Amino acid sequence: MVNPKKKDCKRVLANWTCSSDSCQNEWTGSTWILNGKNQEGTYKDLVKGDYIEQKCRTCDNKYNELTSYGPYFFERLIYEDEEMKKWYRVFGEWDCNRDTCTKKWTSSYTWVLLQKYLDGVLASDLNRGDYFMQYCKDCNNVNNKLNEVNSDIKTESGIVTFFDNNCGQFKVIETTLTKLYVDECW
């Protein structure tokens, strides 16, 4: 069976076991599962071709068992507010809700409740209090539509800031295709 393409998949955090009798290595890593398959059922519902297989990190065996998976998220992109609610920073696809405005935008500063993200709730099923609203930069409308949330970085390089709960300050990440640089707290 052929592995699916990453563009058709969602990244998850998965546990694997080597299927070689002489190895039996276990590991956890980022795994790509076809869109639509990553939220429904369990790993037992998946068949080869629903996910990108991984080589064993010990013996290089190509045929291994996906034993469990869950949402992929970064601890450093979590913000806890004064009410102890945890928010997760994602990419959001937005539309202005004003009839006279056709503005659409993507924002890397879209915050949704962490639990809603972990539960895989679609943007269309989020309630108003489940995310921070953004205003339209063309007409200043504050009641806009969040169409989609995505945690995967869509740019090949850029600078991203995030709130670091460890030091209680913002940090800067510079990303390129091959390296990730994190500044100290500032």
Q: What is the pLDDT of residues 65-81, one digit of tens each?
A: 888 887 666 666 778 87
Residues in contact with 131: Cβ distance below 8 Å, sequence separation at least 6, in sequence order: 92, 110, 111, 112, 113, 116, 146, 149
90: its two tokens? 């994602």
Q: What is the pLDDT along the chain (186 residues), one digit of tens a residue?
A: 678 887 788 777 788 899 999 998 998 877 888 877 766 446 667 888 888 888 888 999 988 888 888 766 666 677 887 888 888 888 889 999 999 999 999 888 888 998 888 787 888 899 989 998 898 999 999 889 999 887 654 333 344 444 444 454 444 444 433 333 343 433
Using CA atoms, how far apart are residues 42 and 166, in angstroms rounded to an integer?
Answer: 33
pTM: 0.51
